[in-house]
Structure formats: C-alpha cells, structure tokens
C-alpha cells in the first residue's frame, strides 16, 4: 500500500501545480503551451503485481475461512 500512497501523492502534487499526469509514462506534464490530456490508466493495470498480491490474499482468505468452517463443523459434530 505504500507504493499506492507514494504514487497518489506524486499524481496529486502534479495536479496541484496545474499539470496533467501521463499515467502511461508516470510523468507530470506542466508545459502550459499545448496542454495535453492523457487518458487515465487504473492502478491495477499499471502495477500488475498489485493484482497478484490482492488475488493471492483473497484466495488465502477464502481457504482459511473454509478451513476454520470445516474444523468447527467437526468439533460440533455437524
């Protein structure tokens, strides 16, 4: 999450200075002449490792909940 926060602050700082942010190149464009508009690229698309980490965590959470549920069923005799 630190990477997300750092990137957020970098983008916010760029926009506060009146610039536009190029998400594809991760650069701030502050040239007042010919101000370009860049398309937004979502964080998970720019950082594939984020998707891997979140997906892995979700799978582990579900497996853990299934394990806890099955072990509590054994204890109660259900």
pTM, full prediction: 0.56
Domain count, the chain: 2
Same domain, 55 and 76: yes
CA dihedral angle for residue 68, residue 71, residue 76, residue 78, rounded to 10 degrees: 100
- 39 in the same domain as 10: yes
pLDDT attached to residue 76: 66
The per-residue pLDDT for 34 is 61
pLDDT on residue 77: 59
Question: Do 38 and 58 share a structural domain?
Answer: no
Q: What is the pLDDT of residues 9-63, one digit of tens each?
A: 999 999 999 888 888 888 898 876 666 778 888 888 887 887 888 889 999 999 9
Q: 47-53: which pairs have CB atoms within 8 A and are 24 or more residues apart?
A: 47/3, 50/3, 50/4
**Other beta carbons less than 10 A from residue 21's beta carbon:** 20
The domain containing residue 35 runs over which residues? 1-43
């Amino acid at each position: 999450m630190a990477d997300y926060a750092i990137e957020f602050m970098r983008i916010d700082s760029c926009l506060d200075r009146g610039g536009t942010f190029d998400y594809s190149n991760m650069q701030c464009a502050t040239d007042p002449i010919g101000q370009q508009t860049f398309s937004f690229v979502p964080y998970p698309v720019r950082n594939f490792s984020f998707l891997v980490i979140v997906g892995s965590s979700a799978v582990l959470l579900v497996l853990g909940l299934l394990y806890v549920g099955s072990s509590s069923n054994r204890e109660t005799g259900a």
